[in-house]
């Protein structure tokens, strides 16, 4: 089997970073999602 497809267990995930930062990662996405939904609702309600 080729080494090209081997998964490295030591390397950090390029998108998520260190595993220890999972709470900060989840909080960041939650805040971002709520801000996006808030902007959509504001545009809808105030017809900006």
Q: What is the pLDDT of residues 1-48, one digit of tens each?
A: 555 656 555 555 556 555 667 888 899 999 999 999 999 999 999 986
CA distances to 7, 27, 32, 45 from 36, rounded to whole Å, are 34, 14, 6, 14
pLDDT at position 22 is 84
pLDDT at position 21 is 78
Helix (H) or strand (E) holding 1: none
- Paired with 17 in beta bridges are 13
Q: Are the C-beta atoms of residues 1 and 7 closer than 8 Å to each other?
A: no
């Amino acid at each position: 089997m080729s080494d090209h497809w081997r998964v490295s267990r030591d390397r950090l995930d390029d998108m998520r970073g260190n595993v220890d930062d999972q709470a900060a990662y989840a909080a960041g996405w939650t805040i971002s999602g709520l801000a996006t939904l808030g902007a959509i609702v504001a545009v809808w309600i105030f017809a900006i």
